[in-house]
Amino acid sequence: MALALNSIIPHTRALSLSTSLPSKKPSSPQFQQPHNRRQSTQIVQSTASSSTNTTLSDVKLQIQEDSNFNPTSTSATAWSEFARNVSGEWDGYGADFTKEGNPIELPENVVPGAYREWEVKVFDWQTQCPTLANPEEPVLVYKNIELLPTVGCEADAATRYTVIEKNIGGVNNEVSAFAYQSSGCYVAVWPVEEKGNKLLELEYCLINPQDKESRVRIIQVIRIDNMKMMLQNTRVFCEQWYGPFRNGDQLGGCAIRDSAFASTAALNASEVVGTWQGPRALANFDGYGLENEETSTYSGVEFS
């Protein structure tokens, strides 16, 4: 699946970036796991403080999908519903793409010799993303786990290659901005530093409206250079929900319903070019408030 996107970054507010990154060992969250995760509700979003010493500051943003919308629902209720929907074992495949949208091969040292002998190129990692959100407090922890490729169905032989723990909210908060939807969708902004370069990772987690146990996470890596933002590369994860949170102890293996996608053909431009409409909600990072739902029109989608 070659990507063909034009990156659009809204400049709504300058972000204060921290060049010091938290140093800690991955740990297993101790708060109670949420239950009854698949419940639908109205859309509620919140934002997060950029400080690593403060908890998320809920912004009471609610947008109505019909005229019967009840504005009295609290952000605490919305977060609890979000926690149920986002928590669990999310397994699937992940791949990296250049800024032009071309898939990037896995390093040769992680590819089994049999693939090299058969001249088979490998672009996709099998991935795990165990996720746990505290239904009582705005705190979320997940891990990005990449598994070494195997030949055939060798779930028992799967070995972890990388494990990266990510924290939203609480004393270990790493995001400078965060917004969520009670369905399990969210957007997060991660300030990072790589070889002395300041980067932003813009993460979009999108739940399939027709299948709430299927989602896509897209991470745009943005380089900040002389007050300019430039797309460096993109990561994509196609994941499905395989059960309650187990901290990644159980591998999806051959039971994974998704398949590798990075080298599949890109969509034809005619399938996406055109006018798109949908609801929009805006978060005010300075305080509380609600901007009424607007119907936004997007047109002129371009491809290079």
- Check whether 288 has a pLDDT greater than 50: no
Query: For residues 144 and 129, is the Cβ–Cβ distance under 8 A?
Result: yes
How much is the pLDDT for 33?
61
Residue 16 resides in a domain = no
Among residues of the chain, what percentage have pLDDT more than 70? 64
What local confidence, expressed as pLDDT, does residue 175 receive? 95
Is 267 a domain residue? yes
CA 116 – CA 66 distance, rounded (Å)? 55
Residues ≥6 apart with Cβ < 8 Å to 249: none
Which residues have C-beta within 8 Å of that of residue 27, sequence separation ≥ 6? 165
Eight-class DSSP state of 157: G
**208-234 per-position pLDDT tens digit:** 989 999 999 999 999 988 889 999 999
pLDDT digits (tens, 9 = 90+) for 151-181: 876 555 578 999 999 999 999 999 999 999 9
Q: Phi/psi of residue 179, each to 5°?
A: -140, 145
The residue that leads in pLDDT, 55 or 101, is 101
Distance CA 199, CA 188 (A): 14
Given pLDDT bands bounded at 50, 70 and 90, which one contains residue 247?
very high
pLDDT score recorded for residue 77: 87
For residue 288, being part of any structural domain is answered with yes
pLDDT level of residue 130 (50, 70, 90 thresholds): very high
Q: In the predicted model, is pLDDT for residue 238 greater than 70?
A: yes
CB atoms within 10 A of CB 115: 15
DSSP string, 227-271: TEEEEEEEEEEEEEE-SS--TT-S--GGG------TTSPPPPGGG
pTM of the model: 0.72
Q: What is the pLDDT of residue 152?
A: 73
Task: Output the pLDDT for position 116.
Answer: 86
Within-domain flag for 97: yes
- pLDDT at 202 (0 to 100): 97
- CATH code of the domain containing 194: 2.40.128.20
Mean pLDDT of all residues in 120-135: 95
In a domain, 129, yes or no: yes
Looking at residue 144, its pLDDT comes to 97
Q: Is residue 31 part of a domain?
A: no
Contact 264, 1 (CB under 8 A): yes
pLDDT in tens, 18-40: 333 333 344 556 566 665 554 43
In a domain, 252, yes or no: yes
The fraction of the chain above a pLDDT of 90, given in percent, is 46
* Residue 13 belongs to some domain of the structure: no
Give the pLDDT score at 69: 29
3-state SS string for the chain = CCCCCCCCCCCCCCCCCCCCCCCCCCCCCCCCCCCCCCCCCCEEECCCCCCCCCCCCCCCEEECCCCCCCCCCCHHHHHHHHHHHHCEEEEEEEEEEECCCCECCCCHHHCCHHHHHCCCCCCCEEEEEEEEEECCCCEEEEEEEEECCCCCCCHHHCCEEEEEEEEECCCCCCCCEEEECCCCCEEEEEEEEECCEEEEEEEEEEEECCEEEEEEEEEEEEEEECCEEEEEEEEEEEEEECCCCCCCCCCCHHHCCCCCCCCCCCCCHHHCCCCEEEEECCCCCCCCCCCCCEEEEECCCCCC
Most confident of 40-44, 119-123, 252-256, 274-278: 119-123
Domain count within the chain:
1
What pLDDT does residue 259 have? Answer: 82
Query: Which tokens hold the place of 130?
Result: 């165990």
Residue 297 confidence (pLDDT): 52
Choice between 294 and 111, residue whose per-residue pLDDT is larger: 111
The parent domain of residue 195 ranges over 43-298
Alpha-carbon distance of 205 to 238, in angstroms, equals 10
Q: What is the DSSP letter of 110?
A: G
